[in-house]
Amino acid sequence: MQTKKEFRKRDFFYLLPLWLLSLIVPDADDLYSYRSKEFKRRELYYLGAVLFLPLIWSDPHFHHLMVLAGIYTILALGLSLFLGYAGQISLGHAAFFGIGAYTTAILTTRYAFPTFLAFWASAATAATAAFLIGKPILKLKGYFLALATLGFAEIFLVIVRETQTLTGGVIGIFGIPWFSIAGFSFDTYLKQYYLTWGVLLGLFLFSKNLVRSKLGRASLAVAASEDAAKSVGIDVAQIKIKVFVMSAAFAGFAGSLFACIMSTANPEAFSLGFSTLIVMMVILGGMGNLYGPIFGSILLTYLMDILGRYQEWSLPIYGVILILLLIFFPDGIGTRVGIRLIYLIGYWAKKKKRDEGKL
Amino acid sequence: MKENKGMVCWMIFLILIFMGLATSAVAAEKMPYKIGANFEFTGPWAEVTKTLKMATVMEVERINAMGGVDGHPLELIFEDNGFDLGRAAVNMTKFTRDKEILAVVGPFEDNLQATTRAIAEREKITNIIICPSNPMVRALKQRWAFNIAQSDIIVSQKLVDLCLARNYKKVLVFPAVIPLAQSLADYFKRFGEEKGMKVIIAKETHKPTDIDMTPQLIKLKPTIEQEKVDAFYACTAGPPGPIVCKNMRTMGIKTPILGTHAFGFGFIIALGGEAMEGVEFGGAKPVVPDQLDENDPVRPIILDFDKRMRERYGVGIDQLAGYAHDTISLIYDALKRCQGKVTRATFRDALENTNSLKNCHGIYNYSPTDHDGLSKKDMVFIRIEGGKFKRIKFPGYE
Amino acid sequence: MPKNLPACTKPFGEGRFGGQVSEGGQTEDFMNFWTYLPQLLSSGITIGAIYALVALGFVTITRASQIINFAQGEFVMLGGVITFFLLKGLNLPYFLAALIAIMVVIMIGFLLQVSVVYPLRKASVLILIMATLGASIFLSSTSALVFGTLPKALPPFSGEQPLQIGGLTVVPQSVWVLGATFLLLIVLYLLSHRTLLGKAMEATSTDPLGADLLGISRNLMVFLAFGVSAGIGAFAGILITPIFFTSYNSGTLLGLKGFIAAVLGGWGKNSGAILGGFVLGIVESLSVAFIPSGYKDGVAFAILLLILYFRPKGILGSPFIDSRRW
Amino acid sequence: MTSLLIVDEITKEYDGIRALDRISLEVEKGTIKGLIGPNGAGKSTLFHLISGMEKPDSGKIYFKGKEITPLEPNEIAALGVGRTFQTVQTLGNMTVVENIMTGMHLRLKGGLISSGLWLPWIKRTEKEALKEAKEILDRLGLLGRWKSPASQLPLGKQKLLEIGRAFAMKPDLILLDEPASGLTPTEVEQLSERICQLKKDGITLVVVEHHMGMVMEIADEVVVLDHGKLIAEGPPDVVRGDSKMVEAYMKGKRLNNYR
């Protein structure tokens, strides 16, 4: 009797924080449920948080961090279309990010393009590059696909370092202007925050639509079983190319924003480590789930920032944390926690009903 | 059960009291002046940063032991930016957020410096940068950014002097693909040709990560032989230097080798072994602390600093330790000269008015037009002999 | 002192020595290129041997279980660095230091398998890739923490004086490297073709279920394979450190090149790994004669892309390519 | 040519072993063709060749009088050949209804951008597709679980779902690869009912099956393969009496044990 009471108490203890968590943690059955048009209440929570958090918590450091997280999220969102939905591996997205950044840098500093045009141009360039490289590469699978994309990224770095007349080589390009639309320039972190997350919101809706359309189903089918996909007449190679190009375009957008906000572009920023970081964001957030990238990138960006305090130890700790997270949450923290949550709530509700029934 | 509860209550009460006392005690003494340090504790520069940290910490403790700046202790706050652009920028913002932080030191990597300097300019906080080697970055005329290093201009001028003294008429430059090396090569060519030398910059380059330079050298060897170059300028930094020397000696090229001031580290000799014998370069004074002139104004400072470093860490000073020492003493000096309330603005003005301040690396003079500080007189000619750095002098070139 | 900084008012890159290369800088005349061909070849062969050794490490693991261990390069790095530490820090004799270092690295390999690969044995390819990458981050940064990031150089096994063989000069260490490589190849050949253990490893890789039915413990095989490959890596590290300095971050690139070599020669074959290693090393060092040396690293990855596109089986063909995972 | 599918003298070898040896058969429109034979007789190989997953060493395959031998699987599917798999391959990462809608892939329109922007016509198509998919599920009796993940269905339902997916393509020919394997007798009953319904819809079927009773019941014609050779062909009753088939397939046992 007493034990039962204790149980109920403990459940209650769990539930309050977990309910709060459920507002920020992506929904587990987003993985499965038919992707419906109408927004859920949870999504409104997210939107509200994105809109008002920076105003409530007006701290430049937080804003700056969220700007970075937003940029990484755009990149990770594109990657999760390719990684989580089409089930292909890419370790080369840092290259597309870099292509975007360099396109913006060159266009704005050399040819005095308005940043808004450069923004679209960089996405176009990245998409074109993805199309050209994807046609031969995407017939590979698994490890070899990963290695091929990685090789592409390395080659991109070498080219950037060597073509000094165009990219400034290792010296890089400086003095990229702020992002500005029609004379309104985003010069404070708050404005940049709204810029980044506005772009992110648009791309998020875009990919949400994409995922529940014909193309999204086709890519999921490719991920599940290519034979089955072929047997219903899906052109597997074409689908792969489409998704790859799409994710590269996202990376281009992200790169352009990055160049504008950091006001510099140099090869060191687009190395293998960055690709790894982005893939980790997608995995940890939970693959095949559009909220995953957001969750994962915010998580990792904050992790990196906190680790900065442990000067020399930051990198080893980072490595250990990565491995542990991968071992214990191979299908993403978000998904895992969400499932636990739903299970627990359901269990609690059942138990309550049972007790009432008894009384 | 009950006793325990009572105990707990008492404990909490006592703790609260103690905390109150502690806070009041802290409030009693003067607020510290905070300095942010935005360094690469991980990544390729980790070793360098370790030295910087050791020296800065030691200097700050010494100043605090002397009673700080009229009562205010100095306080260092370290953040790791992991060699990453985004994290460096975020750290910068984190520092600017804390109103008590007067200045930020670092980062060390060229590509990060551009961003942090831009932020410093926007947020109006002093950013002291150690070894800004990227010409594009160093040359940005910014109010709030100060450089602590021999600029590559004076390094190149010094090396040209060395060539003239040695009477090298034709020099082949083998540059690395790092910003420092590139600007060094350019300036060396310009000043050398002003002085009537013939400077050949090879098309062959090498990366900092290359582990074998033989192929490049093989392509350069014909040039060396046909053009009969008098000296070979290994324009690089870090491990590639010794590798180049080793490979050249292995291939039996006997041309004398010139180095950059980045050769002035112990590990370079350790790596190169006997291949490094006879390499000459224009370096900073801390490289040869014991071989300076008696009348050298900075000699006592260097010797004292060297002694303290050896006492505390058991290692002698090198150029980087010198830079760290100079950073802290510059800050100390500026803080002492601050009129009235010490704010970021007043601190910056005081720092900009630094005038003939004696330091490890020489005599610093900052002015609104010059944020570089050092001059050519603060460098010496150095030759590697018997696995040691040996200072060499030439009449007329000092 | 007023400074004129024309270089900095220049637009980027323009006038850096992409442009302002002087006349004598480049040697397009192949007369003297051919005269130096043997020299290029010798340096290529030395590096090729290193790549071959790293590739052997990859192959060993793949033969036991179809896993790619991205931390392979770190084994090489650790071998060199730990030997240096024992030699210089603890003043052990060279041979003993090398032996202990190899042992330690083998232990690390075992630990890696137990702590990372075994828990993820049922995970997808992607997770394994990321986990091993995380492991490599951890290993390299930890070695930076413990042994410092300064590059390390071991004394060569026998003498510093370069040998004069005909026209070309060779460091005696590269002879050691070559000899050791072939010795190791023979040992591995015997291990994998003459002993039961090797056959068991291959069996687990080609047909895991069948191996299980035969009573071969797959996990044990993977465990042993990690130890062996770690040993090979450490051995390679000790061999190369006298010639090319080993620093905490030199592992990653070496690992990738070794992997490229393994794919080039024929994935999953010891002979393929050796062949691929030498081909890659020679092509890399010869390529410098025809293209600006800045593109040298790109060459290896270009080769990777080409080989993956046109002949994923590699030169000698591969037993594993058909399996669904590749 | 009146026949819908014509397989003409095709041969397939796997390193030396002849999986199929100069097989030729014709499938009339609107009939059900049963394809039986012991394990390793090459039935699944034949399916792979027809659906283009593998290419024959020699011989040709015609569908609607058009040669489909060199075509890619998805092109063949686009011509109207649906199929199911021996090891059931439902798309486990999607819901049941999405599986069916995946089957409609070719019939839906919508490009990358337009579906990303969710333009009106996309909206309309998706709505109709959903409606139709639900109808199909209703016929298969799966409408109750249309929202649950396909991987959570029991095996029998998954097989049905697979057939539904193939049917959603509105094909002219469906190749069923051992639809009844691993099903309980009642499920087999349901299955054969569904198949007959499909036939009523005017869809031609080719069924590979071990379950003799079912094949003999639903098939109009039966083909017996053994070690890559076609040893008997004809209506079920004829084939059942065929001595060659009996001793090849039944290993001399009396057939009615299997009925």
pLDDT of A218-252, one tens digit each? 998 998 888 889 988 899 999 999 999 999 999 99
With 0-12 / 13-18 / 19 or more C-beta atoms within 10 angstroms meaning exposed / middle / buried, residue A74 is buried
Q: Considering its fold, how many domains does chain B have in total?
A: 2
A140: CB partners within 8 A, 6+ apart: A148, C308, C312, C326
Q: Given this model, what pLDDT does residue C102 score? A: 94
Interface of A with B in 234-273 (CB under 8 A): 262-264, 266, 268-269
- The answer to whether C47 contacts chain B (CB < 8 Å) is yes
Average pLDDT over residues B136-149: 79
User: Taking CB atoms and an 8 Å limit, are C305 and A169 in contact across chains?
Assistant: no
For residue A244, the distance in angstroms to the closest alpha carbon of chain D comes to 12
Average pLDDT over residues A269-296: 86
For chain A, domain boundaries? 54-284
> Which residues of chain B lie closer than 8 angstroms to C5, CB-CB?
135, 139, 153
Determine the 3-state secondary structure of B391 from DSSP: strand
With 0-12 / 13-18 / 19 or more C-beta atoms within 10 angstroms meaning exposed / middle / buried, residue A44 is exposed
Q: Does B163 lie in the same domain as B146?
A: no
User: Taking CB atoms and an 8 Å limit, are A209 and D91 in contact across chains?
Assistant: no
- CATH fold, domain C37-310, is ABC transporter involved in vitamin B12 uptake, BtuC (1.10.3470)
Q: For chain B, which chains pass the contact test of at least 3 CB pairs under 8 Å?
A: A, C
- The answer to whether D77 contacts chain A (CB < 8 Å) is yes
Q: How far apart are CA C61 and CA C218, in angstroms?
A: 12
User: Taking CB atoms and an 8 Å limit, are C285 and B215 in contact across chains?
Assistant: yes
pLDDT band for A68, please (50, 70, 90 cuts): very high
Interface of D with A in 137-196 (CB under 8 A): 147-149, 165-166, 168-169
User: Taking CB atoms and an 8 Å limit, are D110 and A215 in contact across chains?
Assistant: yes
Q: How many beta carbons lie within 10 A of that of residue A42, not counting itself?
A: 16
Closest CA in chain D for residue A87 = D93
Q: Does B237 lie in the same domain as B386?
A: yes
Nearest to A323 among C14, C116, C142 (CB): C116
Q: Does B161 lie in the same domain as B286?
A: yes
For residue B329, the distance in angstroms to the closest alpha carbon of chain A comes to 23
Virtual CA dihedral for B54, B55, B60, B61, nearest 10 degrees? 60
Q: Given this model, what pLDDT does residue B135 score? A: 72
Q: How many beta carbons lie within 10 A of that of residue B99, not counting itself?
A: 10
At C160, list the tokens.
């510093």
Angle at A129 (CA atoms; ends A128, A130), nearest 5 degrees: 90
CB B261 within 8 A of CB B323: no
| Whether residue C27 has pLDDT greater than 70 | no
Q: Given this model, what pLDDT does residue B328 score? A: 92
> Which residues of chain C lie closer than 8 angstroms to B206, CB-CB?
293
> Which residues of chain B lie closer than 8 angstroms to C20, CB-CB?
186, 189, 201
Q: Does B172 lie in the same domain as B147?
A: no
Interface of A with C in 308-337 (CB under 8 A): 312-313, 315-316, 318-320, 322-323, 326-327, 330
Select the more confidently predicted residue: B339 or C273: C273
Segments in D201-242 forming alpha helices (H): 212-218, 236-241
> Given CA atoms C177, C178, C183, C188 in this order, what sign does their dihedral have?
positive
Q: Does B222 lie in the same domain as B126?
A: no
Q: Which of A309-313, A351-355, C90-94, C157-161 has the lowest mean pLDDT?
A: A351-355
Best-predicted range by mean pLDDT (A134-148, B13-27, C305-319): A134-148
> Given CA atoms B307, B313, B317, B323 in this order, what sign does their dihedral have?
negative
CB D23 within 8 A of CB D232: no
Interface of C with B in 71-110 (CB under 8 A): none
| Whether residue A112 has pLDDT greater than 70 | yes
Q: Does B310 lie in the same domain as B358?
A: yes
Nearest to A230 by CA among C10, D221, D48: D48
DSSP 8-state secondary structure symbol assigned to residue D181: T
Q: How many beta carbons lie within 10 A of that of residue A43, not counting itself?
A: 14
pLDDT band for A67, please (50, 70, 90 cuts): very high
A78: CB partners within 8 A, 6+ apart: A93, A203, A207, A246, A247, A248, A249, A250, A251, A254
Q: Does B168 lie in the same domain as B121?
A: no
The β-bridge relationship of strands C168-170 and D32-36 is: unpaired
Q: Does B132 lie in the same domain as B170?
A: no
User: Taking CB atoms and an 8 Å limit, are A171 and C12 in contact across chains?
Assistant: yes
Q: Output the 3-class SS for A63-122.
A: HHHHHHHHHHHHHHHHHHHHHHHCCCCCCCHHHHHHHHHHHHHHHHHHCCCCHHHHHHHH
Question: Looking at the DSSP assignment, which residues form a beta bridge with residue B171?
Answer: B199, B231
DSSP 8-state secondary structure symbol assigned to residue D153: S
Q: Does B234 lie in the same domain as B205?
A: yes
Nearest to A46 by CA among A164, A158, A208, A160: A208
> Which residues of chain C lie closer than 8 angstroms to A79, CB-CB?
none
Q: Given this model, what pLDDT does residue D218 score? A: 86
Q: Given this model, what pLDDT does residue C297 score? A: 80
CB B234 within 8 A of CB B245: yes
pLDDT band for B9, please (50, 70, 90 cuts): low
For residue B207, the distance in angstroms to the closest alpha carbon of chain C comes to 7
For residue B379, the distance in angstroms to the closest alpha carbon of chain C comes to 16
CB A305 within 8 A of CB C285: no
Q: Does B53 lie in the same domain as B105?
A: yes
Q: At what angle do helices C125-147 and A142-162 cross, to 10 degrees?
A: 50
Q: For chain A, which chains pass the contact test of at least 3 CB pairs under 8 Å?
A: B, C, D
pLDDT of C144-199, one tens digit each? 888 887 888 888 887 767 777 766 677 788 888 888 888 888 888 888 778 888 78
Q: How many residues does chain C have?
A: 326
DSSP 8-state secondary structure symbol assigned to residue B286: G
Q: Given this model, what pLDDT does residue B337 score? A: 87
Bond preceding residue B107 cis, omega within 30 of 0: yes
Domains of chain D: 5-90+154-258 (3.40.50.300), 95-152 (no CATH)
User: Taking CB atoms and an 8 Å limit, are A269 and B81 in contact across chains?
Assistant: no
**C near A: at least 3 beta-carbon pairs less than 8 Å apart:** yes
Q: Given this model, what pLDDT does residue A105 score? A: 94
User: Taking CB atoms and an 8 Å limit, are B114 and A269 in contact across chains?
Assistant: no
B8 domain residue, yes or no: no
Based on DSSP, count helices (H) and strands (E) in chain C, helices before strands. 12, 2
Nearest to C8 among B46, B135, B185 (CB): B135
B28 domain residue, yes or no: no
Q: Given this model, what pLDDT does residue C120 score? A: 84
C57: CB partners within 8 A, 6+ apart: C69, C72, C75, C76, C229, C230, C232, C233, C236, C258
| Whether residue C86 has pLDDT greater than 70 | yes
> Which residues of chain A lie closer than 8 angstroms to D97, CB-CB?
34
Closest CA in chain C for residue B366 = C1
Percent of chain A with pLDDT over 90: 35
Average pLDDT over residues D209-223: 83
- The answer to whether D78 contacts chain A (CB < 8 Å) is yes
Nearest to C144 among B46, B215, B219 (CB): B46
> Given CA atoms D63, D66, D72, D74 in this order, what sign does their dihedral have?
negative
Q: How far apart are CA C322 and CA D112, in angstroms?
A: 33
Q: Given this model, what pLDDT does residue A344 score? A: 64
Q: Given this model, what pLDDT does residue C323 score? A: 42
For residue A333, the distance in angstroms to the closest alpha carbon of chain D comes to 18
Measured between alpha carbons, how far is residue B369 from residues A239, A257, B323 in Å? Answer: 59, 34, 21
pLDDT band for C310, please (50, 70, 90 cuts): confident
User: Taking CB atoms and an 8 Å limit, are B271 and C245 in contact across chains?
Assistant: yes
Closest CA in chain A for residue C19 = A165
pLDDT of B226-254, one tens digit each? 888 889 999 888 888 888 898 888 888 88
Closest CA in chain B for residue C140 = B43
Average pLDDT over residues B5-12: 55
Determine the 3-state secondary structure of B338 from DSSP: coil
pTM of the prediction?
Answer: 0.86
| Whether residue A28 has pLDDT greater than 90 | no
User: Taking CB atoms and an 8 Å limit, are C308 and A283 in contact across chains?
Assistant: no
End-to-end CA distance of chain C, in Å?
64
pLDDT, chain D, mean:
83
Interface probe, candidates D44, D84, D89, chain A, greatest A C-beta count within 10 A: D89
Residue for token digits 């799966």?
A: D142
Radius of gyration of chain D (CA): 19
For residue B87, the distance in angstroms to the closest alpha carbon of chain A comes to 7
Q: Given this model, what pLDDT does residue C106 score? A: 95
Q: Does B172 lie in the same domain as B143?
A: no
- The answer to whether C172 contacts chain B (CB < 8 Å) is no
CATH code of the domain in which B146 resides = 3.40.50.2300
Q: Which of A36-45, C82-91, C265-274 has the lowest mean pLDDT?
A: A36-45
pLDDT, chain C, mean:
80
Question: Looking at the DSSP assignment, which residues form a beta bridge with residue B33?
Answer: B74
Nearest to A172 among B46, B90, B111 (CB): B111
- The answer to whether B139 contacts chain C (CB < 8 Å) is yes
Q: Does B157 lie in the same domain as B112?
A: no
Query: Whole domain around residue B273: which residue ranges?
Result: 153-290+379-392
For residue B156, the distance in angstroms to the closest alpha carbon of chain A comes to 19
Interface probe, candidates B243, B250, B375, chain C, greatest C C-beta count within 10 A: B250
Q: Given this model, what pLDDT does residue C326 score? A: 46
CA A84 to chain centre: 11
Interface of C with B in 267-306 (CB under 8 A): 285, 288-289, 292-294, 296-297
State the number of CA atoms in the 13 A half-sphere of C16 facing the CB. Answer: 32
Determine the 3-state secondary structure of D201 from DSSP: coil
